[in-house]
């Protein structure tokens, strides 16, 4: 039995996730949007580990590993896109890139 209630861990994960969501929705700097995505990924990983700790099983940590892998791939692509964007628009403001080409 956990000494820390599972619901408190999940509430913490929820709070951090919402903070990341606010960061993505409010900030217009593309670096901060990527940071907000990181915060959200991290919150989801926290929720998985809390759930895994409740049952004493390794599955939660394994899902965290997969989330870590996804984050690494996402960040490498995202930062490459940041470079492309700075090259094209000479700014980090995401609103400058709101037109599609086709």
Phi, psi angle pair for 29, to nearest 5°: -85, 130
The least distance separating another protein from the CB of residue 95, rounded to whole angstroms, comes to 17
Residues that bind another protein in the complex, under the rule CB under 8 A? 1-4, 8-9, 12, 15-16, 19-20, 22-23, 26-27, 29, 31-32, 34-36, 38-39, 42, 45-46, 49-50, 52-53, 56-62, 64-66, 68-77, 79-84, 86, 92
CA dihedral 89, 92, 93, 96 (to 10 degrees): 10
Nearer to another protein, 56 or 102 (CB): 56
Report the alpha-carbon distance of residue 44 to residue 24 in Å, rounded.
15
């Amino acid at each position: 039995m956990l000494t820390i209630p599972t619901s408190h861990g999940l509430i913490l994960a929820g709070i951090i996730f919402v903070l990341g969501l606010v960061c993505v929705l409010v900030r217009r700097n593309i670096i901060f949007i990527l940071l907000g995505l990181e915060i959200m990924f991290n919150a989801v990983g926290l929720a998985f580990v809390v759930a895994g700790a409740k049952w004493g099983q390794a599955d939660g940590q394994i899902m965290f590993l997969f989330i870590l892998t996804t984050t690494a791939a996402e960040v490498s692509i995202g930062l490459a896109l940041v470079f492309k964007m700075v090259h094209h628009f000479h700014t980090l403001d995401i609103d400058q890139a709101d037109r599609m080409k086709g």
